[in-house]
Amino acid sequence: MKNFLKLLSSAPFSAKFGIVVIFIYLVVAIFAPLIAPYGEREILGRAYELWSSEYLLGTDNLGRDMLSRLIYGARNTIGLTLIITVLAFSLGGILGMIAAALGGRVDQILSRIVDVFMAIPGLIFALLILSFFGTSMPYLIGTIVVLDATRVFRIARATAMDVAVMDYVEVAQLRGEKLGWVVRKEILPNITAPLLAEFGLRFCFVFLFISALSFLGLGIQPPTADWGSMVRDNATLISYGDITPLIPASAVALLTIAVNFVVDWMLHRSSGLKDV
Amino acid sequence: MSDNTINNSNRELTPLLQMKGLRIEGLSDNGWQEIVCGIDLELKRGEILGLIGESGAGKSTIGLAAMGYARDGCRFTEGDIIFDGIELRTAPEEEKRKLRGTRISYVAQSAAAAFNPAHRLLDQFVEGPVDHQILSRIDAKEKGRALYRSLDLPDPENIGDRWPHQVSGGQLQRMMVAMAMSCEPDMIIFDEPTTALDVTTQIEVLKTIKEIVIDRNVAAIYVTHDLAVVAQMADHLMVLRHGKLVEVNSTGQILKAPKQEYTRDLLKARNRDEKMPAPTPNPQTLLSIDSVTAGYGKGPDVLQDVSIMVERGQTVAVVGESGSGKSTLARVITGLLPTRSGGVSFEEELLPPALNQRQKQQLQKVQMIYQLPDVALNPRQRVRDVIGRPLSFYLGLKGKEKENRIKELLRQIELPESYIDRLPNELSGGEKQRICIARALAAKPELIVCDEVTSALDSIVAKAILNLLQRLQNELGLTYIFISHDLDTVASIADQVVVLYAGRIAEQGPKSAVFQPPFHPYTRLLLSSVPEMRQGWLEETLATRETQAGIAHEVKITEQGCPFVERCPVSIEDVCVHNRPPIQTTVSSGHAFACQHSAKVLLEESEQ
């Protein structure tokens, strides 16, 4: 813990800023019911009410409190994003490392499958699947996980390849170790730094992707609050010079920037460590 | 006119390069630490100064400082560097830039890494003179060809049109020396220019360097850890340790009468104690390799019809230049590379060719130690895990029992028990190699394959590792297959010697029979190429027939005839090119070599 604090204090300003922002988002997401003044789905007043002391950010197209929905939206969107990113990393990471460790035919087959997936533009692929199977949560998660796992696979395979040619991996093979051990104990600990950095980036992309899908009406379904659909539902307000719909949009933007600051710092550290 | 004379004599008297009280600091985990602690140095025109020491002695840092350059994470703190009247420490970057490449140039250790693989050699040669506007592109190219010619490079008119990967390692290193000469500099810094090379290639490069430096009256700083090599080159030697000067004197004096204890240690590290032949009461074959042929992918046979018997408790050394198939042999024994034909038997039991078909117990008995301990240890695993894994994997040890055994192994390899929780980056090179040895021992093996285990280490550390291996063999009755290109090492540790050339056995037998006197012309070439710790050795060796015929050639695998024919001083026209050499034997038991000539003829030849 002490080391961790020491590490934090050595971070540059941008990274500290990012960490603080992420921390605030997490607190808001976790304690949403305590912080939000009203319920997520409560219809309180007329549609599109202006900012007032009662409704700090006004109300949305159905008369629900914008601020409350913004707070609940953090919970839904971040939660979903986290689940998807973790799943995508598990799937892509494990397959990537296996491909690197085994090489040969296994590597060829896995890599070509991934190439096929990557050849189709992500958004179009997702639209296709979701409009075909319907927009239920499992399909949403499954689709984005598979799409994102292809990117993770590429980076996991590339970094694991560098490790797999090391003599210590050969030593483990000569000892007669099974594939699981080689991947878990010899390769994984040596590629965690680039994978973690990639995790941060992927998190942002998934976040934006969900928001984009929600904006198109294929993401998180109403009445569940989420930032993407909040922008869409209230977009008309912009025509009247009201900036309210931009607030969920900037919530997305701010988190993206914060995560990227932290990721940059981590990447810098991991590349610096290699030089020593 | 008189002015001129005075100027000239002044030029001769004042040193070209002078360092006074130079101090350099390097950034480490614990902040700035002094890595060069007050060095004084003088170099006159036409002189070669050897900087010698182990890794971490600061010799490369001083070499670079002679160009006014401090690596990233290093900084000059005190002292002067004066090159021909110019203070380099304070000189503006632009002025230093003009000096570098034109008046001072640098030859790095690895030519393969120093050349840009995406440009032709001659195009890289002309960069210096053209950028510094000394020569036009056409003149520079002409000059390059002339230099290649004077360095005896093959096909000097066209070799510059090749890409770096199309010439051999030795040639590439010589091309880099040529490149350093492109602007006729006053001073050249050589940073371990032959360390990564085979002994035969080393001679080829040393010859080139010596010609350049002496013929053109250039001053040079020669940085190396190999005293025998620098003895051939330098007029003066500076022995360095931990950034401090140990001793400075003329080369002859240092070799004959070293004043400091440390210098004596360095000298001794070369002259190794000869190993007493291990007593073998009832010889018992542990491993036998029977006419093995092997190769990679669809490529040629890298090993052809190789048969070796390894007796229990003995050390069999496998020697040869790079490309001779030594490491491939190790891969065949361990099962990493399945054979194309022939087989490997262990304790009279035929081993399955591929690794994944071998039983755990078969794997346990054959362990391997690698050349580079840095990449043979997982940087994320502590010593406890590295040594502990084979204990639990093969022997099923757990908890306290395992812990005790790890500590016992640490004691055996002469490291303190407190090292048990260290990570590899908290260990020195020699300590890492010891951990690798402990990992091999943990499996309770019968046979350990040592692949160039000392070639990445400093001479004093290497000697300690060899002594350790020797002691372990005596105590535990281990059998070693010792792969090395360093005949000095082999001479000290081996019982049996196998000389490989282009995937075929050139000669094998007991050490004394193979080395004293050497029969096969290749063995003779290898032996005569090992630098000796005395001045004048290089010139003597270059004058011999073996060297003249044998150096500056690559190892080529041939389908027919004797692969060594191109480099052989005694080859028989038409015969050696087409016919496989027959196996000749001598009076020593187990001694055999492959040559058209009989032992008697070869012996007479060598006496001429």
The DSSP 8-state label assigned to residue B277 in this structure reads P
Does the distance separating the beta carbons of A176 and B393 come in below 8 Å? yes
List, for residues B466-497, the tens digit of each pLDDT value. 999 999 998 898 999 999 888 888 888 888 89
Tell me the three state secondary structure of residue B459: helix
The two tokens of residue B571 are 């080859």
- Do the bridges between strand B349-350 and strand B366-369 make them parallel or antiparallel, or are there none, so unpaired? unpaired
Measure in Å the smallest separation between the Cα of A193 and chain B Cα atoms: 12
Overall CATH class of domain B2-270: alpha beta
User: Of B210, B208, B221, which is closest to residue B45 (Cα–Cα)?
Assistant: B221
Residue A154: CATH number of its domain: 1.10.3720.10
pLDDT band at B2 (very low <50, low <70, confident <90, very high): very low
Chain A nearest-CA residue for B445: A175
Residue A227 in any domain: the answer is: yes
The residue ranking higher by pLDDT, B75 or B598, is B75
> What integer pLDDT is reported at residue B13 of this predicted model?
64
Residue A26 in any domain: the answer is: no
The two tokens of residue B478 are 């281990």
Domain chopping of chain B, boundaries: 2-270, 275-516, 518-608
> What integer pLDDT is reported at residue B282 of this predicted model?
65
User: Of B168, B510, B486, B554, which is closest to residue B324 (Cα–Cα)?
Assistant: B554
Per the structure, the complete domain to which residue A173 belongs is given by 72-275
Q: Could you tell me if B482 and B308 are in contact, meaning their C-beta atoms sit under 8 angstroms apart?
A: no
> What integer pLDDT is reported at residue B271 of this predicted model?
57
Residue A231 in any domain: the answer is: yes
> What integer pLDDT is reported at residue A194 of this predicted model?
84
> What integer pLDDT is reported at residue A276 of this predicted model?
32
Q: How far is CA B499 from the centre of its chain?
A: 18
Is pLDDT at B12 greater than 60 in this prediction?
Answer: no
Residue A1 in any domain: the answer is: no
Residue that has been written with the tokens 């001073």 in this structure: B187
Does the distance separating the beta carbons of A174 and B355 come in below 8 Å? yes
Nearest to B360 among A176, A185, A189 (CB): A176
Q: pTM of the entire structure?
A: 0.81
Does the distance separating the beta carbons of B376 and A175 come in below 8 Å? no
Nearest to B380 among A170, A189, A276 (CB): A189
Quote the number of domains for chain A.
1
Residue A99 in any domain: the answer is: yes
What is the dotted CATH code of the domain comprising B275-516? Answer: 3.40.50.300
Contacts of A164 in chain B (CB under 8 A): none
Contacts of B394 in chain A (CB under 8 A): 175
User: Of B309, B303, B342, which is closest to residue B323 (Cα–Cα)?
Assistant: B303
- H or E stretch at B333: helix B326-334
Q: Could you tell me if B193 and B107 are in contact, meaning their C-beta atoms sit under 8 angstroms apart?
A: yes
Does the distance separating the beta carbons of B376 and A168 come in below 8 Å? yes
Contacts of A166 in chain B (CB under 8 A): 375, 378
Contacts of B393 in chain A (CB under 8 A): 175-177
Does the distance separating the beta carbons of B376 and A171 come in below 8 Å? yes
Q: Could you tell me if B453 and B464 are in contact, meaning their C-beta atoms sit under 8 angstroms apart?
A: no
| pLDDT over 90, % of chain B | 17
Does the distance separating the beta carbons of A170 and B336 come in below 8 Å? yes
How confident is the prediction along chain A (276 residues), in pLDDT tens digits per residue? Answer: 677 778 778 788 899 999 999 999 999 989 988 888 888 888 787 877 778 888 888 888 888 888 888 899 888 888 889 899 999 999 999 999 999 999 889 999 999 999 999 998 888 888 888 888 887 888 889 999 999 999 999 999 999 999 998 899 999 999 989 999 999 999 998 898 888 888 888 888 888 888 888 888 888 887 888 888 888 888 888 888 788 888 888 988 898 889 888 888 877 776 654 333
Residue A142 in any domain: the answer is: yes
Q: How far is CA A228 from the centre of its chain?
A: 14
The two tokens of residue B589 are 């038991």
Residue A12 in any domain: the answer is: no
Q: Are B2-270 and B275-516 the same fold in CATH?
A: yes
Chain A nearest-CA residue for B385: A185
Measure in Å the smallest separation between the Cα of B247 and chain A Cα atoms: 31
Residue A81 in any domain: the answer is: yes
Does the distance separating the beta carbons of A189 and B377 come in below 8 Å? no
The per-residue pLDDT of chain B, averaged, comes to: 84
